[in-house]
Amino acid sequence: LRDNRIELVRASWHELSISVSDVSLSDEGQYTCSLFTMPVKTSKAFLTVLGVPEKPQITGFTSPVMEGERMQLTCKTSGSKPAADIRWFKNDKEVKDAKYLKEEDTVRKTFTVSSTLDFLADRSDDGAVVSCRVDHESLNSTPQIAMQVLEIHYTPLVKIISSNSWPEEGQSIVLTCESKGKPVPEPVLWTKDGGELPDPERMVVNGRVLSISFLNKTDNGTYRCEAKNPIGRNSTEYVLIVHDVFNTLLPTTVIPSLTTATVTTNVALTASTTTSATATSIRDPNGLTQTGPDHALIGGIVAVVVFVTLCSIILLGRYLARHKGTYLTNEAKGAEDAPDADTAIINAEGSQVNAEEKKEYFI
């Protein structure tokens, strides 16, 4: 062996040792040690040199990538012997189904290995770290890694958050439009029922926030928040329903009567609601709390009094009608066929004596 990288370490009748520095692939082969005796004795050994893979590189990424586009990332390393192994990871989670390819260099007897990862860009991949890891026995369990941070552009994602789940008349409400996109969306646009906000004094827009004070029934409607960026635009809607204020008990009402009695009535107002798909309240929006007499109740009492009076008059007239008749004196009863009054009285008394008793019964 005649090479400056080969050094004689120890030489004796029993042992011959050499060292090889800066080992290269050309040092691979069969080495022979000979003992010059009669006959000559030899011993052989084959030296295998591992090819250390070069640091991998990721190609195929062009920033930025639009959402929905197909991405092909390729990781490549050369100089490995035997062929190295390549694995893909996304945010420390291994990704399968990558295409693996290896090519052998016939001169150096090393391998060039590449792997291609094919997938569709999604907004969830924005900011994700894709890494390519090369494993080889020459690396002593310390793999070589190449990394690429993904940048995905996508249209805004819009959502409206309400500060009041049950808005009532006279209250306030704050609607917040959350928009997330890349690039960052421009200031959002608020509309109501397809047009501009009708009352700018009560409906104040501050950035992505819409504040409405002193709610009333005219504020009912569909509010739309729209956000856009250079990629596109998106919108969402919120249906506002302003509910009535609940009334529990009206004050005591004193009702004047036609008699000397005073009628005191506690009137309880029961509010009923009808639940629908949109939870719409059907109570009168213009209804006011009654504080004066209940005119309907007064009218009812007056009608009852008039009815009782009419019934009394009818019964009294019927009673009087049933007792009408003609009553004759004794002279009149006996005047028939009597020449004078005395004879008439005598005839009347006689007729009463001889007449049968008659009785009338009124049912």
Same CATH topology for 57-150 and 155-240: the answer is yes
Fold held by 155-240: Immunoglobulin-like (2.60.40)
pLDDT digits (tens, 9 = 90+) for 292-331: 557 788 888 989 999 999 999 998 888 877 655 555 555 5
Specify the CATH number of the domain 57-150. Answer: 2.60.40.10
Domain boundary assignment for the chain: 6-47, 57-150, 155-240
- DSSP-derived 3-state class of residue 18: strand
> What pLDDT, on a 0 to 100 scale, did the predictor assign at position 276?
35
Nearest to 72 by CA among 130, 123, 154, 143: 130
Show the low-confidence residues of the chain (pLDDT under 70): 247-293, 322-363
> What pLDDT sits at residue 324?
53
Find, among 157, 159, 134, the residue nearest to 145 by Cα.
134
CA 6 to centroid of chain Cα atoms: 76
Distance CA(54)–CA(37), nearest Å, equals 47
Predicted local confidence at residue 217, as pLDDT? 94
Q: What is the pLDDT of residue 195?
A: 94
Residue 295: the pLDDT is: 78
C-alpha distance across the termini of the chain, in Å:
158
Residues 28-53 pLDDT 10s:
899 998 888 888 889 999 999 999 99
Whole-number pLDDT of residue 342 = 66
State pTM to two decimals. Answer: 0.57
The rounded distance, in Å, linking the Cα atoms of 265 and 12 is: 130
Q: What integer pLDDT is reported at residue 189 of this predicted model?
A: 95
* Predicted local confidence at residue 316, as pLDDT: 87
